[in-house]
Amino acid sequence: METLEFIIYPDGRVQEKVTGIIGASCAEVTAAIEAQLGQVLSQETTSEYFAQSVQQSVSAQAQTTYSEW
């Protein structure tokens, strides 16, 4: 599940935490929001940022032969 969490501090700072998005696509998801919030002071990447999505495909082929006995 993709989650965006925002903590707004009394002094106006906003902390944003993104979970559930694999790879650098989290930057694409949050870019518009960050542009509206103002200047980004710092960013920390999580292990999800460096993870790679896994795509797996399975192909099976069956062949049946019958004996002439």
pLDDT surpassing 70 at residue 54: no
| pLDDT tens-digit readout, 19-43 | 888 888 888 888 888 888 888 888 8
Cβ atoms of 48 and 20 within 8 Å: the answer is yes
How confident is the model at residue 60, as a pLDDT?
A: 66
| pLDDT tens-digit readout, 5-17 | 999 999 988 898 9
How confident is the model at residue 65, as a pLDDT?
A: 73
How confident is the model at residue 10, as a pLDDT?
A: 94
In angstroms, the first-to-last Cα distance of the chain is 58
Question: Does an H or E element contain 28, and which?
Answer: helix 25-37
Average pLDDT, the chain: 82
pLDDT surpassing 70 at residue 4: yes
Domain boundaries, the chain: 3-50
